[in-house]
Every structure is written in structure tokens, then in C-alpha cells.
Amino acid sequence: MRSGTHRTVRAACTERSRWPLVAALAGAIAASLCAPDALAQSSETAQLRAELAKMQQQMQAQQAAMERMRQRLDELESADARRAAAQPVTPAAPIPPSVPAPATHVETAQAQASRAQPAVQGVEAPSRIVEPPSAMPGAHDPAPEGYVALGDSGNFVKLDVVAQVDMMVDNKFLGYQDLFIPASIPVTGAPFHDSDTRTTLSGKQSVVRMDFMRDTPYGVMKVVYKNNFFGFGGPDMDYNLQYLYGELENKRFSLLAGYYMSAFTDIDVFPNTLDYEGPNSFTFKYTPQIRYTPVLYRHGEARLTLPMSLEKPNADIAVLGDYQPYSRWPDATLGLRYETPDWHVQWANLVRDLAVQSASDDATRTIEAYATQFTFAAGVFGDDSVQGWASFGKGYANFLQDITGFGLDAAFNPSLQLEAIDAEGYGAGYTHTWREGLTSSASYGYLKIDPDANLFIDPSLPENTSYASLNLAWQFSERAMMGAELLWGRLEDLSGASGEAKRVQFSFRYDLNP
């Protein structure tokens, strides 16, 4: 009906010129009928225009916001570039930051993988000296790869397990078949001096190590655990704790507490021997301690530190009668170390108190002891490296690898006074890289004690010993090594008798997470 009415109106509109009154009346009727459609069309158009204008305003606002963000990003990048140019950042040991808060959206696989590793932000420059396949596993801080976040706790952990087997062939009986100790070599006239060739296998160099790290407001906190199986409770694979310590480290200092190598020991100069014991004259000692190391000076990647510690005393004295050894205060060390990624030198000093007390009348005898040591290590000739050490003093025999536990720190004189025994030790090591993964290392050590002639000491104890090693090690896989080593040692005791021994050692090692 509506369409018919429209046609009638349109016809009436065309006849306006013939009948003006009729035309006017028809126009009024047409306007009244057409008004609803016109109003509807006008309302829809206005709505679309309003929505379009609103969307244009939103797009303009977003573009303005993006432009502001782009300008801010440019300002931050420029500021970072200026700071980097003014103060170059020193790369260093891995320090994981706190674990970021969990994302509220679904992460991509790449984002999840990146969250599994701590960022590398360091306070100590990593060494550029190449570590050969024969290097002692787990002796240094691990590389940043391999850490795993422990949930959202902010803690990171890295686990390393080393499985190693050594076969040792000796030309005669030695006191410790698992270790090559020149002080245990039979001398002329002693039992087993002319003993037969002996062979043994050992898995005691196998290692379990766990490194925990987290960020704190004061720096990076580490807790380190490590053990091997050189305990002495039984014949094979006896548990032996090596590390259990915590350390707080930042740009200004480090603070260590727990069970660790003595601050008098410089593990960075330990030669790359397959033999676990290593050179006779090396000052290698584990002990409970508290150690503070302030950073005195920095220049680029180099730094000067002043390590100092208080450590558990362990007076190793040749006693008489019912006297028992003890110490009135802890061993104390004070050193000075300058290090760069390519070399370092260290001067360490040790002060000790040695004492004995009688169980029957509480009579006491005391003596002070001291030692000083110079050590260095450097990368030379491409991937080669050299190490060296020299120490001397009184009453520190318990720190020397070969003669620890022999009671040679001090002894009684005829007046029943305690005297500290002079001692000295020297050594060097060199590692040559034939090609990547194939190296040879050589080392030599010499130590000597010089007690007064009238001291009450067993004449069969060592006066001087020598040690030499030469090996070939091949890392045939990223996590596997094999090698062979020739060892030679010589002992001369306080009576003048001497003896020599040789060993050939074959080693095979798997390292889960080097």
C-alpha cells in the first residue's frame, strides 16, 4: 500500500504547473508521507559519521602515544650509549638476577627458554687462560650456561657430576696407591724398597658439585657444595667433603664463610696434572674459615684485592710423652692479589700459633710460626699457559702437600722447648696446546725442611722430596676426556737414605655439566 501511495504522490507532484492549488495540496501530503524515511536516513548517516570521527580520534591518540614512546626509547638508548662510552662495563663471572615475576599471558617457547638461564652480569672478569682437558674438574666457578631457576624463588642452581676412573701402574709399592706421594717412597734399606710392580684402579676422583646463586640487595650470594671420594674411612670410594661455603660478592668486596680451600692456597696456579695429589710442594689445604676480600683498585678488566682470613688451626707437631698439640688462636692470612683475564700474581702471608700441653701437669709450650708465598699464572703463546709458586717460612709444613700430617710443624729441643721447623717449597707447571682438545702438561716440585740437628724428630721422616709429571690429554667429546701421564718422585729422609719411584697413570672422565 505504501509503494502505491508513493506513486500517487509523485504523479501529483508532476502536475503542479497545471493546477497550482492541487499541486500545493499534494506537496503537503507528500512531505508528510516522505518525512519518516528521510529522517531515518539522516539519523543513520549521522551515527556512522560520529563513529568514524571517534575511531579517527582514537587512531590519532594511539599514533601520538607511539611517537612519545619512540622518542623516549631514543633518549634512553642515547643515554646508555653515553654511559657505555664513559665507563666501559667489565665482563665477569656469572651472576644470575632475581627470577622475574610470572607472566600473566601465555609465553612463547623462546621466552620460556630465556627464563631458564640467569643473565650474565659479573663483578669479576672471566679468565681467558685456556683450561686443558687434564685440568682438575670442578675446581673453579662454573660457566653461566646450565643454571636452572628454582621456580619463582629467585634461586638458581647448577649441578655437575663427574665420573672418573684412573688406572695406576707403579714400579714399586707406595704408601698410598690412589695418590702419588713422594714422601711415601721406600728408601734404601726400608721395607718394600725392592718391591714388585703394582697396579690398581680408582674412581675416587669422581666429583659431585652443586652451585646455588641468587641476587640480593648487597650483591650476589653463592652457596657451593662439592665432594669427591678420597675419604680414609675404608678401602674404596669413601666420601670426602671438599667445599661447603657461602659467599656474598659485589663490586667492592666478597665475604666467604664455610669449608673451603685456605686463602693461603692459590688454586689458579695448580698445574694441570691427571694425578689428583699434584706437585709435592704445592700448598693445598681445606679448612673451615671466614674470609673477607676488599677490592682496592680497578682498571678496566684488572683489579687489586686484599684477601684476608681467619682459619681453623691444625698444629701438626712431633709430640713427646703425654703432650697434646693445640693452638691459642686461629691461623690468619693476609694477601695481595692483582689479576687480569690473561694473568695474575699473588702474595700471601700466613701467621700461626703452635702449642702443646701436658695431660698430667698442664704444662704448656708455645711458639709462633709464619710463612709467605708468591704465586703467578699466565697465558702465553696462544693457548699455552704457565704456572709458578714459591713459599718459605717456619712451622707451616702442614700446608705442604707432601708432608702434611707428619708432625713437622714443630718439635721439642733438648730443653723441652718447642721450636718451629724451617720449610720451603718451589714449583712450576706448563701446558702446551697441540690443537683444540689435545694438550700436554708438565710440572715439577721441590720441597725441603731444615730442622735444627738437636730436635727430637724421627730420622725416617722426609728431609726433601722431588716430583715431576708429564701427560697427554685428549678431550674427544664436549663432556669426555682421556689421558695418560708419567710421574716420577724422589725422597731423601733425615738420615740421608733415599729412594725413587715411577708411575704411569691412565685416566678416563665423563663430565655431565662442565
**DSSP class of residue 385?**
E
Let me know how long the chain is.
514
Burial label for 222, CB within 10 Å (0-12, 13-18, 19+), is: buried
Write down the domain spans for the chain: 2-85, 148-511
Q: In angstroms, how far is CA 178 from the centroid of its own chain?
A: 27
Give me the pLDDT at residue 41, please: 55
The three-state secondary structure class of 165 is strand
Spatial contact of 269 and 388, defined as CB atoms under 8 Å apart: yes
Partnered with residue 343 across adjacent β-strands are: 378
Distance CA 480, CA 44 (A): 78
* CATH number for the domain running over 148-511: 2.40.160.10
Distance CA 264, CA 242 (A): 16
Partnered with residue 346 across adjacent β-strands are: 337, 375
Distance CA 166, CA 269 (A): 23
Give me the pLDDT at residue 317, please: 95
Angle at 264 between CA 160 and CA 297, to 5 degrees: 90
The DSSP secondary structure of 470-505, one letter per residue, reads EEEEEEEETTEEEEEEEEEEEEEETTS-EEEEEEEE
Distance CA 232, CA 236 (A): 9
Distance CA 6, CA 209 (A): 96
Spatial contact of 212 and 223, defined as CB atoms under 8 Å apart: yes
Give the tens place of pLDDT for each residue, 226-270: 999 998 766 788 999 999 999 999 999 999 999 999 999 999 999
Give the tens place of pLDDT for each residue, 145-203: 889 999 989 999 999 999 999 999 999 999 888 899 999 999 999 999 989 999 999 99
Spatial contact of 402 and 183, defined as CB atoms under 8 Å apart: yes
If you search the block for the grid coordinates 602515544, which residue do you land on? 65
pTM of the model as a whole = 0.76
| pLDDT tens, the chain, 514 aa long | 444 444 444 443 344 444 443 344 445 444 444 444 544 456 777 777 877 777 777 777 777 777 777 777 777 777 666 666 555 544 444 444 444 444 444 444 444 444 455 543 456 778 889 889 999 888 888 887 889 999 989 999 999 999 999 999 999 999 888 899 999 999 999 999 989 999 999 999 999 999 999 999 999 999 999 999 998 766 788 999 999 999 999 999 999 999 999 999 999 999 999 999 999 999 999 999 999 999 999 999 999 999 999 999 999 999 998 999 999 999 999 999 999 999 999 999 999 999 999 999 889 999 999 999 999 999 999 999 999 999 999 999 999 999 999 999 999 999 999 999 999 999 999 999 999 999 999 999 999 999 998 999 999 999 999 999 999 999 999 999 999 999 999 999 999 999 999 999 999 999 998 8
* Distances, alpha carbon 136 to alpha carbons 268, 272, 460, in Å: 11, 7, 32
The three-state secondary structure class of 447 is strand
Q: Which of 499, 509, 503, 406 is nearest to 188 (CA)?
A: 499
